[in-house]
């Protein structure tokens, strides 16, 4: 291995690894973010169930594409909400 690379790899374990800490006074902001994420997740699940019901009903009338669009949008909303939750846990 290159001597420069091995010297750099010997320095890496000595670097500090700080643990994240919530700043004082931000408890209210975190609570509001938790409420918003809960509302978005409940809305996404409700949208999924409503779209699934509409898809089942629309199968008889020939308008399946509208129910399918609703299902796709609800799934995308749930994926985005779950992704934002993971990203926010990293920063907060």
- The pTM assigned to this predicted structure is 0.56
Domain positions in the chain are 41-92
Per residue in 65-81, pLDDT tens? 777 887 888 888 778 87
Question: What is the spatial distance between Cα 48 and Cα 68, in angstroms, rounded to a whole number?
Answer: 10
Question: What is the spatial distance between Cα 43 and Cα 11, in angstroms, rounded to a whole number?
Answer: 49
- The pLDDT score that the predictor gives to residue 78 is 78
Structure tokens given for 53: 């019901």
Question: What is the spatial distance between Cα 51 and Cα 66, in angstroms, rounded to a whole number?
Answer: 9
Structure tokens given for 51: 């779209």
- The pLDDT score that the predictor gives to residue 92 is 62
Per residue in 19-50, pLDDT tens? 767 778 877 887 887 888 788 878 888 888 88
Q: Position of tokens 């809960």?
A: 38
Question: What is the spatial distance between Cα 14 and Cα 8, in angstroms, rounded to a whole number?
Answer: 10
């Amino acid at each position: 291995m290159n001597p420069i690379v091995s010297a750099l790899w010997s320095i890496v374990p000595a670097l500090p690894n700080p643990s994240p800490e919530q700043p004082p006074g931000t408890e209210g902001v975190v609570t509001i973010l938790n409420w918003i994420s809960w509302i978005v997740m409940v809305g996404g699940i409700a949208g999924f169930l409503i779209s699934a019901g509409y898809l089942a009903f629309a199968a008889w009338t020939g308008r399946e594409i509208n129910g399918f669009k609703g299902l796709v949008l609800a799934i995308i909303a749930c994926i985005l909400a779950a992704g934002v939750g993971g990203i926010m846990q990293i920063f907060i």
